[in-house]
Homo-oligomer: A and B are copies of this chain.
Amino acid sequence: MNTRPDQAPAQGVEPIAPLREFVVAMTRLVERTDHEPALLAEGRELLAKLIARDDWLPEFCAQPDPQFYRQYLLHADPLERFSVVSFVWGPGQRTPVHDHTVWGLVGMLRGAELCQRWKREADGRLVPDGEQATLRPGEVDAVSPTVGDIHVVANGLPDRPSISIHVYGANIGALRRHVFDPETGASKDFVSGYSSDRVPNLWDRSAAVRGGAGAK
């Protein structure tokens, strides 16, 4: 837990509730539409609400690794229309230049992240696209083949872990996508997988139901 001072959890509600509410709302959204601009716009609002507080991420999904950044699956839609992960950055850790091939939303939960977009020129070269940006807690960034899909992300803190929450329009860990050599523009396939064989149990509402919170 890492509760911001003004954000005490509501009485009798289990800590994971905000993540469950996000997953339910995202599920209703993908049931309603597969239109990317709507998914990005409504998904951004839902994600902003989720990361407005930092008291719900289970500890086992917040553990950095000494060597590599980690991505813990928090939820996958069973029809693989979206997935939610926590990215945990140790000091000095960064991604290669990579793409996603699907829409994605990156919401900063804890610490800070440096993002540099890249784009492919007509002659095939990869060049930086704009300035490096810093993402701060509560802020959301978007990627997709339509809005710009290639970037590098790095921990923005030199001495502490940072954590961002990502939502993608697919089962991101099982997607064949690409890393790039920024010198040559050459691409190589990669499939990221996930850092844990377990995900949080979002569904144990028993304490609230026993306490009289109703059937749902």
Q: Which of A45-95 contact B (CB under 8 A)?
A: 58, 60, 73, 75-80, 83
The 9 closest A-B pairs by CB, nearest first: A193-B206, A76-B203, A174-B205, A198-B198, A27-B78, A191-B206, A194-B204, A191-B209, A191-B210
Which residues on the B side are within 8 Å of A27 (C-beta)? 78-79
Q: Quick one: copies of this chain in the complex?
A: 2
Interface size class of A (residues with CB under 8 A): 35 or more
Q: Which residues of A are at the interface with B, using a C-beta cutoff of 8 A? A: 23-24, 27-28, 58, 60, 73, 75-80, 83, 171, 173-176, 191-194, 196-210, 215-216
Q: Roughly how many angstroms separate A24 CA and B176 CA in the complex, as a whole number?
A: 21
Q: Roughly how many angstroms separate A204 CA and B201 CA in the complex, as a whole number?
A: 17
Q: Roughly how many angstroms separate A194 CA and B199 CA in the complex, as a whole number?
A: 14
Contact of A203 among B23, B73, B200, B203 (CB under 8 A): B73
B174 adjacent to A206 (CB under 8 Å): yes
Which residues on the B side are within 8 Å of A210 (C-beta)? 191
